[in-house]
């Protein structure tokens, strides 16, 4: 609802808006700045900015000395793997719900969403024991499965809201031309649904990357992703601020970049199409 | 457009999702119910047996449980209040014609993409730490003693951290809703001499109601399960001062290694969440065009 305003008012609101935005983003900015300081400079009192001694040593050290690359790789495998697997299962489901809806489709969608409301901690014990017994504990494949199931309702919902916007007549036309069901999905539907699938993909990678319950409780060392690594970064005592910041910056950088690309879809995706 | 065979194919395609979610829901739930009536401690695995409702009554008799219930309520309520009120204010501000709106949005949304353990450990150490934190430096600059956030105000600290993470989500949704508003109505009201406050009260707020409801519903789902932030910072302490229901159950399972008791806690959490969910689904159902 852009309206004409006086230049003076525009300057004032611009200053206020930028002030607020910088305050909100400040912890992230400060973390990035700290990650380039020496440890001594990072804990200096009063805090240093202009006179700080800058270095990239923290990144080199975190990357080469800890098991950081392995945690990073685990995060990549788990978030991308669970999302792709989820998409493979959810695309047919969302397709059929959007184009061949039955009487129970809405109930079914609501039921799927309601499984999200089950607190994860409520089923921690059986998950823990099942994972131990099935040999899935502290494995990447175990976490891929857990996070896929956790996000499956969101994936189905997001795809469903995107698919519903595709006009059904196009599918009918394809069918009249004699396209088989599978061809219809692959050659007609998928290209049209690609933007929707892409934003579903992005948002669910973000959700899986940032997940911090199953990744912490169902791993110890081998399959632990970055969330578990940072959570166990033992109380720094002021000695490891710069390294903590460097490790954290690397942990969130891929998601910050992906997130900025998908911020428009984020609203729609996370509100299940209720706010567009 | 549906022949019999295409209907059948469609049902077949929904089947894997439904089957997986059913298994995901029912198997752990049945197991949890089973263990909740068992004596099963990992420290003495030989002593097992049925214990009736002992595991459940432990919770209701324990003061930690009621404290955790209060903390959970404070966390959900506090974060909802902070994010909705600030979110409305910030959305109204950013919606004004300002320079550099694209970058502005990127700055505002940033915290949402920070994973909970990072958000928690950065705020705890770089900002709230009583010796080396930035807040301590500010306190000293103004001549007062640094506040021991995690020790003296653990629950408020956790609420602060979680609010920082979720403020962007609320702001972004409320902003989206504001931008879908037609300016004609507002201009007409302005010409009729309606004050800024009454324009907000009678035109903008009713328009945002749907978005506000959605923010509350979705955030509640996620806030009820908050775990990583507490695990990273206070570990539920000092004592049990910042232990929420999820964290209390986690402590029973992992720290006390009492499987039966943790399972009973899990069932209590599921029942409570379902009570909340009934209200949520009723509200959310109206707003979703399924």
> ipTM of this model?
0.85
Residues of A in contact with B1 (CB under 8 A): 99-100, 168, 171-172, 175
Range of the domain at A101: 67-232
Q: Are B39 and B258 in contact (CB under 8 A)?
A: no
Give the residue from chain B lying closest to A205, CA to CA.
B113
Q: Has residue A47 got a pLDDT over 70?
A: yes
Q: Are A179 and A189 in contact (CB under 8 A)?
A: no
Whole-prediction pTM value?
A: 0.86
Angle between helices B259-287 and A124-133 (to 10 degrees): 120
CA atoms of B107 and B100, how far apart (whole Å): 11
pLDDT of residue B131: 79
pLDDT of residue B162: 95
Question: Which pair of tokens denotes residue A209?
Answer: 């990357």
Closest in A14, A28, A120 to B98, CB measured? A14
Give the residue from chain A lying closest to B185, CA to CA.
A1
Average pLDDT, chain A: 84
Q: Rounded to the nearest 10 degrees, how much is the dihedral formed by the CA atoms of B30, B32, B34, B38?
A: 180
Return the H-helix or E-strand segment holding B232. Answer: helix B228-232
Judgement on whether residues A94 and A151 belong to the same structural domain of the protein: yes
Closest in B18, B25, B107 to A22, CB measured? B107
Residues of A in contact with B20 (CB under 8 A): 89, 149, 152
Number of domains in chain A: 2
Number of domains in chain B: 1
Shortest Cα distance, chain A CAs vs residue B203, angstroms: 13
The verdict on residue A187 lying in a domain is yes
3-state SS class at B39: strand
Quick count: other Cβ atoms within 10 Å of Cβ A175? 17
Q: Are A128 and A120 in contact (CB under 8 A)?
A: no
Number of Cβ pairs < 8 A linking chain A and chain B: 328
CA atoms of B258 and B42, how far apart (whole Å): 6
Judgement on whether residues A92 and A72 belong to the same structural domain of the protein: yes
Shortest Cα distance, chain B CAs vs residue A14, angstroms: 5
The verdict on residue A256 lying in a domain is no
| B117–A231 CB contact, under 8 Å | yes
Shortest Cα distance, chain B CAs vs residue A134, angstroms: 14
pLDDT of residue B290: 46
Shortest Cα distance, chain A CAs vs residue B104, angstroms: 6
Residues of B in contact with A216 (CB under 8 A): 117, 227-228, 231
Q: Are A124 and B253 in contact (CB under 8 A)?
A: yes
Chosen for mutation from B115, B157, B229, B236 (greatest number of chain A CBs closer than 10 Å) is: B115
CATH number of the CATH domain containing B232: 1.10.3720.10
Judgement on whether residues A14 and A100 belong to the same structural domain of the protein: no
The verdict on residue B31 lying in a domain is no
Span A109-138, mean pLDDT? Answer: 84
CATH number of the CATH domain containing A79: 1.10.3720.10
The verdict on residue B35 lying in a domain is no
| Percent of chain A that is helix, strand, coil (3-state, to 5) | 75, 0, 25
CA atoms of B276 and A80, how far apart (whole Å): 32
Judgement on whether residues A78 and A37 belong to the same structural domain of the protein: no
Judgement on whether residues A16 and A81 belong to the same structural domain of the protein: no
The verdict on residue B259 lying in a domain is yes
pLDDT of residue B97: 83
The CA R_g of chain A, rounded to the nearest whole Å, is: 23
Residues of B in contact with A47 (CB under 8 A): 134, 137
Residues of A in contact with B114 (CB under 8 A): 28, 210, 252, 255-256
| B125–A236 CB contact, under 8 Å | yes
Instruction: Work out the percent of chain A whose per-residue pLDDT is above 90.
Output: 23
Q: Which positions of chain B have pLDDT values less than 70?
A: 1-6, 283-290
Judgement on whether residues A61 and A71 belong to the same structural domain of the protein: no
CA atoms of B113 and B169, how far apart (whole Å): 10
Closest in A47, A105, A245 to B137, CB measured? A47
| A112–B21 CB contact, under 8 Å | yes
The verdict on residue A261 lying in a domain is no
| A241–B126 CB contact, under 8 Å | yes
Q: pLDDT digits over A56-79, tens only?
A: 888 888 888 778 889 999 999 999
pLDDT of residue A171: 73
Judgement on whether residues A97 and A205 belong to the same structural domain of the protein: yes
Judgement on whether residues A138 and A41 belong to the same structural domain of the protein: no
Judgement on whether residues A26 and A142 belong to the same structural domain of the protein: no
Judgement on whether residues A92 and A181 belong to the same structural domain of the protein: yes
| B110–A156 CB contact, under 8 Å | no
Q: Has residue A186 got a pLDDT over 80?
A: no
Partner A contacted by B104 (CB < 8 A): yes
Chosen for mutation from B87, B121, B187, B244 (greatest number of chain A CBs closer than 10 Å) is: B121
| A244–B141 CB contact, under 8 Å | no
Closest in B29, B134, B167 to A47, CB measured? B134
The verdict on residue B7 lying in a domain is no
pLDDT of residue B90: 93
Residue B153, φ and ψ in degrees, nearest 5: -130, 55
Q: Are B247 and B236 in contact (CB under 8 A)?
A: yes
The verdict on residue A115 lying in a domain is yes
Judgement on whether residues A23 and A124 belong to the same structural domain of the protein: no
Judgement on whether residues A99 and A208 belong to the same structural domain of the protein: yes
* Residue B167 exposure: Cα atoms within 13 Å on the Cβ side: 26
B74: Cβ contacts below 8 Å, ≥ 6 apart:
B155, B159
Partner A contacted by B111 (CB < 8 A): yes
| B122–A3 CB contact, under 8 Å | no
Residue-level length of chain A = 276
Give the residue from chain B lying closest to A227, CA to CA.
B117
Residues of B in contact with A153 (CB under 8 A): 21
Q: Has residue A117 got a pLDDT over 80?
A: no
The verdict on residue A260 lying in a domain is no
pLDDT of residue A229: 86
The verdict on residue B261 lying in a domain is yes
Range of the domain at B156: 53-287
């Amino acid at each position: 609802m852009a309206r004409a305003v006086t230049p003076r008012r525009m300057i004032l609101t611009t200053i206020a808006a930028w002030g607020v935005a910088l305050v909100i983003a400040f912890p992230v900015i400060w973390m990035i700045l700290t990650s380039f300081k020496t440890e001594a400079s990072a804990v200096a009192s009063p805090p240093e900015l202009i006179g700080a001694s800058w270095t990239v040593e923290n990144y080199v050290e975190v990357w080469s000395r800890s098991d950081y690359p392995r945690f990073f790789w685990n995060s990549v495998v788990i978030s991308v793997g669970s999302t792709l697997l989820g998409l493979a299962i959810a695309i047919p489901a969302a397709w059929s719900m959007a184009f061949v809806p039955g009487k129970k489709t809405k109930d079914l969608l609501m039921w799927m969403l309601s499984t999200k409301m089950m607190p994860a901690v409520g089923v921690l014990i059986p998950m823990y024991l099942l994972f131990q017994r099935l040999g899935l504990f502290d494995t990447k494949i175990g976490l891929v499965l857990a996070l896929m199931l956790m996000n499956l309702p969101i994936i189905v919902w997001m795809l469903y809201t995107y698919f519903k916007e595709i006009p059904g007549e196009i599918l009918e036309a394809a069918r009249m031309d004699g396209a088989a069901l599978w061809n219809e999905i692959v050659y007609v539907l998928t290209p049209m649904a690609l933007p929707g699938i892409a934003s579903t993909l992005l948002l669910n990678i973000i959700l899986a990357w940032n997940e911090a319950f199953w990744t912490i409780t169902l791993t110890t060392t081998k399959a632990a992703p970055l969330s578990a690594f940072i959570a166990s970064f033992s109380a720094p005592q002021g000695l490891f601020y710069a390294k903590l910041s460097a490790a954290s910056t690397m942990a969130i950088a891929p998601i910050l970049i992906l997130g900025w690309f998908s911020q428009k879809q984020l609203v729609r995706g996370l509100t299940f199409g209720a706010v567009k | 457009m549906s022949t019999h065979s295409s209907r059948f194919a469609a049902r077949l395609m929904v089947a894997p999702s439904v089957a997986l979610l059913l298994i995901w829901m029912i198997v752990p739930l049945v197991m949890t119910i089973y263990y909740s009536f068992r004596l099963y401690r990992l420290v003495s695995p030989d002593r097992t047996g049925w214990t009736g409702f002992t595991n459940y009554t432990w919770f209701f008799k324990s003061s930690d449980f009621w404290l955790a219930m209060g903390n959970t309520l404070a966390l959900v309520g506090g974060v909802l209040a902070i994010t909705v009120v600030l979110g409305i204010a910030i959305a109204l501000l950013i919606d004004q014609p300002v320079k550099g709106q694209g970058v502005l949005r990127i700055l505002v949304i940033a915290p949402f993409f920070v994973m909970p353990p990072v958000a928690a450990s950065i705020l705890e150490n770089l900002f709230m730490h009583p010796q080396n934190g930035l807040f301590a430096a500010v306190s000293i600059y103004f001549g007062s003693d640094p506040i021991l956030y995690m020790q003296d105000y653990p629950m408020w600290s956790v609420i602060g951290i979680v609010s920082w993470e979720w403020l962007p989500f609320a702001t972004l949704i409320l902003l989206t809703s504001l931008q879908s508003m037609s300016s004609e109505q507002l201009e007409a009201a302005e010409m009729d001499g309606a004050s800024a406050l009454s324009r907000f009260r009678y035109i903008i707020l009713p328009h945002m109601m749907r978005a506000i409801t959605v923010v509350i519903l979705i955030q509640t789902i996620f806030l009820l399960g908050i775990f990583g932030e507490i695990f990273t910072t206070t570990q539920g302490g000092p004592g049990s001062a910042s232990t929420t229901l999820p964290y209390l159950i986690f402590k029973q399972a992992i720290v006390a290694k009492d499987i039966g008791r943790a399972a009973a806690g899990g069932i209590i959490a599921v029942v409570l969440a379902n009570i909340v969910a009934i209200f949520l689904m009723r509200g959310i159902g109206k707003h979703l065009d399924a």
